[in-house]
Structures are given as C-alpha cells and as structure tokens.
Amino acid sequence: EAQVTQNPRYLITVTGKKLTVTCSQNMNHEYMSWYRQDPGLGLRQIYYSMNVEVTDKGDVPEGYKVSRKEKRNFPLILESPSPNQTSLYFCATGQLAGGTTDTQYFGPGTRLTVL
Amino acid sequence: AQSVAQPEDQVNVAEGNPLTVKCTYSVSGNPYLFWYVQYPNRGLQFLLKYITGDNLVKGSYGFEAEFNKSQTSFHLKKPSALVSDSALYFCAVRDGANAGKSTFGDGTTLTVKP
C-alpha cells in the first residue's frame, strides 16, 4: 500500500529540547516537502527536496532543519523548539515529471506542542 | 512571488444545491493549480489539478474546477452538494518556473446542511 508515514503523531515537549519528526514514503517519489498548518493561515511550506541531497527553503524555514540522505526519508529537525513552533505538521511527497512536481501525497500529520 | 487567495473562510450550502469555493492566484510563470480537501483529523487529499489543456477540469467525488486565465481564478464547483462534502478545502499553486515551491490558500470550510 502506498504510504507516507510520520512519527510521532503527537508530541508535547519543552522549549529548547531538540526533536526530530520523521517522514518516510514507499512510493519512490523524488520530491518531498514539509508544511505547517496553523488556524487561519492555511499550509505554509517549510522546506522541500527535489531529490537526494537537494533541499531548498520554503516560505517559513526559520527554526527548522532538514536532510535528505536517502530517497525515502525526509526528517524535520527542530534544534531548539520554541512555543511559536506549536503547530500541525505535514509531510508530503510527489513525483517529478518534466522537471516539475505534480500531485502531492500527504502524511497523516504530527501535532506538536512546545511548552 | 506566488500567492493564493481564498476569499471566503466559510461557505454554507444546502444539500442538493450547487456549491462554489473560490480561489484566485498570482504567479509570474505558468500556473499549476490544485485543490485538496481535508476531513477532520485527517491529512490532505488530492481532488483535482490544472496543468495545461482544457480549462474545465474534473476530479474526484464529482468536483470540477474552471481555470480562468484572464481572471486568474480556479474556482471549485459541484452541481449537487452532499452532507459528506463538508470539509476544509485548500487551493494551491505552483509556478511552472519554480518546480518545488508550493503555496496554499488559507482554506475554506464548506458546510453542507441536510
């Protein structure tokens, strides 16, 4: 079954304690991306990756890091989380076609609370 | 810079009536346009897309959308709404010249009343 998995699904942490949210896909997609969803603000793109070892900033990259060492995984790292990073996070994947990306497939989301 | 506007936070319709959820966009290159739906406590699901070709695009669950280049709009429509269509709908745009960057609207909550 084609899947995008995120772990953990729920996380409560404290300010400054480093954390990683994992994203894994089994669809062999080149493209992966992270978004955060906040009420009234829709989805905002944090980082994206067009392929292994290729990452780029989205609209709200501050306070986040990513890496793409292998095709199936795209972890999101918060080195020093702050309360304003409390949000619902989604990972998405997609195929590349003609040099651009097409439909995105979303994971189930990770609800992060930073106290 | 690219942007998407969904001017209505909320759309209410009666079951069986037609529905429209509005979306306008701004990109510098060719637009790639998408609609996604989010049901409560779920991730986003793809509904339909416009990349090129026919301006009227048909998608999942009986939804369709019309690409209007002159008005830079991509409104989502359905001829006859169902209660089960109640959800949060997102319009998204990608600039054909910037392959990886995606911009989503703020979302429109559709409520269909029996």
CA distance A48 to chain B (A): 7
Contact at CB, A101 and B42, closer than 8 angstroms: no
Instruction: Supply the DSSP string of B12-75, one letter for each residue.
Output: EEETTS-EEE--EEE-SS-EEEEEEEE-TTS-EEEEEEESSS-SEEE-GGG-EEEEETTTTEEE
At residue A35, what are phi and psi to the nearest 5 degrees?
Answer: -130, 155
- pLDDT at residue number A100: 64
pLDDT tens, position by position, B81-91: 999 999 999 99
* Averaged pLDDT for residues A66-83: 97
* Most confident stretch, A18-22, B29-33, B41-45, B94-98: A18-22
Contact at CB, A103 and B105, closer than 8 angstroms: no
Q: State the amino acid at position A34 in one-letter form.
A: W
B-facing residues of A in 75-94 (CB < 8 A) are 90, 92
Tokens of A78: 């918060």
**Other Cβ atoms closer than 10 A to B20:** 14
Nearest to B105 among A35, A42, A101 (CB): A42
CA distance B90 to chain A (A): 8
* Most confident stretch, A74-88, A96-110, B22-36: A74-88
pLDDT tens, position by position, A5-61: 999 999 999 999 999 999 999 999 999 999 999 988 999 999 999 999 999 999 999
pLDDT beyond 90 at B53: no
CA distance A93 to chain B (A): 11
Helix, coil or strand: residue B85:
helix
pLDDT tens, position by position, B70-80: 999 999 999 99
Torsional sign, CA A29, A74, B46, B5: negative
- pLDDT at residue number B98: 72
pLDDT tens, position by position, A76-89: 999 999 999 999 99
DSSP letter assigned to residue A74: -
Find chain A residues with C-beta within 8 A of B104's C-beta.
Answer: 35, 42-45
- Residue A104 sits at the chain B interface (C-beta within 8 Å): yes
Tokens of A57: 């900033």
> Using an 8 Å Cβ cutoff, are B79 and B25 in contact?
no
